[in-house]
Amino acid sequence: MPEALGLHHFLLVGAALFCMGLYCVLTRRNAIGILMGVELVLNAANVNYIAFSRYGVGGVDGQVFSIFVIMLAAAEAAIGLAIVLGIYRRSGSIDVSQMTSLRG
């Protein structure tokens, strides 16, 4: 039976997910929404890693890399959300267009 699914299909899903995350990061003004967009981008990268691990020549290396990406995403979420909470406590808002206190 010929394989109907190939590398391209999964890369297509990854590309679409990446662009959704990009759009989210570009348009959101809520800091938590931006972090969600970053999570989407990291997931898209992971889909590509796993697809290459399955269809490419790298063997299990892609899965190991995706585990590191998941670890970094968790770290990013923890630190990013802690920073967001700190900003909220300080200024009462997490709208990134109002975070201008460092502007010269």
Residues that bind another protein (CB under 8 A): 1, 4-5, 7-13, 15-24, 26-30, 32-33, 35-37, 39-40, 43, 46-47, 50-51, 53-57, 59-61, 63-64, 66-68, 70-75, 77-79, 81-86, 88, 94, 97
Q: How far is the CB of 89 from another protein (least distance, A)?
A: 8
Joined together, the tokens standing for residue 86 give 């700190």
CA 82 vs. chain centroid, Å, equals 17
Alpha carbons 13 and 22: distance in angstroms, whole number: 14
> Which CB atom, from 55 or from 99, has the smaller least distance to another protein?
55
Residue in the structure block whose two tokens are 């998941």: 70
> Which CB atom, from 28 or from 99, has the smaller least distance to another protein?
28
Joined together, the tokens standing for residue 87 give 């900003």
Q: How far is the CB of 41 from another protein (least distance, A)?
A: 10
In this structure, the number of other CB atoms found within 10 A of the CB of residue 104 comes to 2
